[in-house]
């Protein structure tokens, strides 16, 4: 069983589709998800006109536009819909040094064409010609309705990708429609990935998280020039982008830089790393690059290929190096005690909080991983083995004696039912839904307001179309909420159009007031410590509680961050 799971995990990693983290005892597991998103940056950087038109930031323009800012003249372009796009370098950083806000406005990567898209941050799934270490860039989308003096809100979107892939040019992240619908300035940002963002050989952690702080500081300088209000900045992101926001919510020095947050599909079960785990991973990475941590010349002269190879090795072997780190996201934010001061989970006292937040998950978060891992039906014996490998003792016994997770029984015909749906539901509850609801209760109990949602309508994200189960009616897989929010669904159906309209209206209200309710849609009741009131997004009413109770996940069956005390 271990050999099969390890082999499939290796194949999936090699294809840059999914990576699986490690369970207790360091064994690979299909339930320790999360999902590094398929990387399609190459489609947006090099000329694939059909793909660019459907998925990527618009590159055709109708007219140039300029805006005077304190950092100089911003060069952008207006598209046929009247939204202006500004690609810009927001920060500078030498290799493994903290970033700082640029002193003057500049197009990314020395470009002279204002329609040029930024090169991605270095990552193993992208061609050398489409990436650069000089990658601290963002794309600003400003609708024609927002002008200097408008005091419009702003939304800063942080892309996902398990901290090792992704960019501001990922599929579906064209912010024009979202900016126009919400009458806000939308900024889509990129940040250093992998070892370059988290594994400074000298031990300085969280460089990528600090990049987002630099991006926020940049917005503080330039937003008024575009009609934006610096007191109304909301952070939003999906998957590891949401994880990044959770880390920023625990950064006291960033408190004044944004007013609210939207976290979509955060893998909260894993928790932030602690310094002990980080130091173990750091030692391993340093051993791979053959440079002393104080040898500046050696570190400077390391080839990018060597760094990416060492970073990938760390990502692949993370669960063997430290079981608590896991294979999927061993490279992630670290509670270092000075910059990030709280784990924001149940392993330590939760700090007093005040920001309003939205927390959402989708119906079938774990489906892509489970059905990629197991392309054929699995029987009850395999199901039991997978649960045991994933959870160990005593969690396995407790899970398998719970009705909704128990071993599937034989069908009327005498054959064992396919256990993959059971496994998918268990993974969704473990990694996403239930820890998100626990986080919501903690947030409310300690002073904040939170609105919880569950997407039951989505739009198949590129990559998920390779998984037949994600194409079935009613399935909403991890990432299938992205194009709904951005309004970039190709050929949307009636339900998708309606949900896009609703979510953009709710986000518009939330950006301004911290409350996603509008007169046009059903009341979204804020969570309490007893009832999180999870609104069905695309459906009607609230989601059933299931096993996401205070007495089950986090108590009777502990989360990973509790098991590993991270």
Distance, CA of 265 to CA of 239 (rounded, Å)? 5
State the greatest distance between any 2 C-alpha atoms of the chain, in Å, as a whole number. 74
Residue in this structure with the two tokens 């780190």, named with its chain if needed: 325
110: Cβ contacts below 8 Å, ≥ 6 apart: none
Pull the structure tokens for residue 459: 């739009």
Residues 504, 510 contacting (CB under 8 angstroms) = no
DSSP track, 504-546 = HHHHHHHHHHS----TTS---PPP-SS----EEETSSSB---T
Residues 289, 201 contacting (CB under 8 angstroms) = yes
331: Cβ contacts below 8 Å, ≥ 6 apart: 163, 164, 194, 195, 197, 198, 199, 281, 311, 314, 315, 318
Distance, CA of 418 to CA of 388 (rounded, Å)? 18
Q: Is 239 a catalytic residue?
A: yes
Cα 442 versus chain centre, distance: 21
Distance, CA of 536 to CA of 412 (rounded, Å)? 33
Distance, CA of 264 to CA of 359 (rounded, Å)? 6
Q: Among 277, 275, 429, 293, which Cα is nearest to 364's?
A: 429
Residues 430, 269 contacting (CB under 8 angstroms) = yes
Q: Among 237, 158, 132, which Cα is nearest to 481's?
A: 237
Gyration radius of the chain over CA positions? 22
Residues 212, 248 contacting (CB under 8 angstroms) = yes
Q: Which helix (H) or strand (E) holds 248?
A: helix 240-248
Beta-sheet pairing, 100-101 with 72-78: unpaired
Beta bridge partners of 88: 138
Pull the structure tokens for residue 406: 């128990």
Distance, CA of 548 to CA of 432 (rounded, Å)? 10
Considering 99, 239, 260, 265, which one is annotated as catalytic?
A: 239
Among all residues, which ones are annotated catalytic? Answer: 239
């Amino acid at each position: 069983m271990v050999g099969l799971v390890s082999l499939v995990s290796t194949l999936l990693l090699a294809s840059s589709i999914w990576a699986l983290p490690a369970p207790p005892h360091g064994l690979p597991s299909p339930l320790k998800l999360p999902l590094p998103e398929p990387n399609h940056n190459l489609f947006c950087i090099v000329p694939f006109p059909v793909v660019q038109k459907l998925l990527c930031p618009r590159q055709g323009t109708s007219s140039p536009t300029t805006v005077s800012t304190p950092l100089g003249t911003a060069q952008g372009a207006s598209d046929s819909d009247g939204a202006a796009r500004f690609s810009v370098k927001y920060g500078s950083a030498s290799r493994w040094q903290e970033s700082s806000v640029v002193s003057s406005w500049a197009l990314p990567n020395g470009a002279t064409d204002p329609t040029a898209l930024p090169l991605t941050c270095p990552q193993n799934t992208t061609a050398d010609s489409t990436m650069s270490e000089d990658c601290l860039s963002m794309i600003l989308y400003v609708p024609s309705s927002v002008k200097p003096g408008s005091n419009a809100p702003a939304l800063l979107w942080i892309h996902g990708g398990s901290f090792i892939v992704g960019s501001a040019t990922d599929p579906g992240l064209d912010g024009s429609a979202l900016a126009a619908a919400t009458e806000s300035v939308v900024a889509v940002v990129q940040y250093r990935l992998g070892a370059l963002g988290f594994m400074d050989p000298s031990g300085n952690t969280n460089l990528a998280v600090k990049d987002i702080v630099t991006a926020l500081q940049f917005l503080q300088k330039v937003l008024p020039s575009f009609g934006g209000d610096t007191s109304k900045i909301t952070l939003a992101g999906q998957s590891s982008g949401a994880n990044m926001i959770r880390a920023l919510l625990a950064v006291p020095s960033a408190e004044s830089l944004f007013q609210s947050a939207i976290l979509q599909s955060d893998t909260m079960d894993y928790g932030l790393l602690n310094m002990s785990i980080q130091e173990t991973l750091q030692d391993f990475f340093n051993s791979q690059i053959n440079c002393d941590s104080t040898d500046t010349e050696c570190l400077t002269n390391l080839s990018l290929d060597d760094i990416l190879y060492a970073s990938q090795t760390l990502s692949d072997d993370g669960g063997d190096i430290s079981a608590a780190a896991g294979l999927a996201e061993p490279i992630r934010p670290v509670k270092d005690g000075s910059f990030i001061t709280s784990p924001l989970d149940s392993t330590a006292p939760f700090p007093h909080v005040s920001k309003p937040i939205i927390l959402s998950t989708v119906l079938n978060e774990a489906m892509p991983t489970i059905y990629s891992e197991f392309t054929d039906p699995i029987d009850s014996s395999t199901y039991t083995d997978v649960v045991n490998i994933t959870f160990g003792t005593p969690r396995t016994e407790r899970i398998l004696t719970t009705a909704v997770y128990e071993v599937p029984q034989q069908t009327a015909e005498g054959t064992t039912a396919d256990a993959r749906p059971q496994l998918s539901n268990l993974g969704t509850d473990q990694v996403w839904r239930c820890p998100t609801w626990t986080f919501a209760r903690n947030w409310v109990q300690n002073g904040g307001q939170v609105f919880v949602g569950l997407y039951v309508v989505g739009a198949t994200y590129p990559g998920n179309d390779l998984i037949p189960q994600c194409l079935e009616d009613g399935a909403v897989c991890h990432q299938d909420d992205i194009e709904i929010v951005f309004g970039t669904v190709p050929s949307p159906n009636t339900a998708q159009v309606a949900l896009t309209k609703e979510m953009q209206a709710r986000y518009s209200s939330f950006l301004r007031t911290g409350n996603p309710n509008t007169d046009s849609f059903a009341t979204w009741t804020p969570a309490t410590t007893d009832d999180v009131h999870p609104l069905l997004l695309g459906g009607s009413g609230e989601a059933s509680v299931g096993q996401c109770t205070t007495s089950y996940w986090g108590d009777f069956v502990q989360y990973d961050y509790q098991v590993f005390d991270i």
